[in-house]
Amino acid sequence: MTNPIKIYTKTGDKGETSLIGGTRVPKFNIRIEAYGTVDELNSYIGLIRDQQIDSHYKDVLLIIQHKLFASESLLACDNEEASKKLPNVIEKDIKLLEKEIDKMSELLPELHSFIIPGGNTVVSYCHIARCVCRRAERLTIKIASEYSVDVFVLKYLNRLSDYLFVLARKIALDSGVAEVQWNHGI
């Protein structure tokens, strides 16, 4: 039997936290910003999963949530040896997203313009998650400019934002909600 996780440690009371590997950093450190943003994304995906959507989407979103936790761990790690013991993101995970994107895209009308986010609550949640995903990707790229970052984490976040966009469109279609295309003349 394992010991329960203690919620408070008091080690961050002065504005610092530890990376996986032991390095103490300020809580505004770019790694903390990045994995915190991935955590925010994970919460939005949980919110989408809690909606009345097709069970297949819920199953895929749960897999995504697990992969986002793995990504958070990798982003929080500053030690190459420690990172070998962490869960990972692999090519197969990216291929799953691509397969899902392709499957949904076959059923969607061709896209000829940008889409204005909205239509119903679930569609809007998907667009919010997509935006948070893009922010997480930008922060991860910033980390990669200074430190080693698992290439699959970057690819996963990039593909995930595409998945969330297509999911928003597919849920709109499933719900009978008309997409509003951007009118650049307004």
Contacts of 97 (CB under 8 A, 6+ apart): 64, 156, 159, 160, 162, 163
Residue 116 domain flag: no
The total domain count for the chain is 1
Return the pLDDT at 22. Answer: 65
Residue 68 sits in a domain whose CATH number is 1.20.1200.10
Domain hosting residue 168, numbered range: 19-107+121-181
pLDDT in tens, 167-177: 999 999 999 99
* pTM for the full predicted model: 0.89
Greater confidence (142 vs 184) lies with 142
Residue 6 domain flag: no
Helical (H) or strand (E) element with 42: helix 30-49
pLDDT in tens, 6-55: 777 766 666 666 656 667 765 677 888 888 999 999 999 999 999 999 99
Residue 47 domain flag: yes
CB 127 within 8 A of CB 136: no
Helical (H) or strand (E) element with 147: none
Residue 112 domain flag: no
Residue 24 domain flag: yes
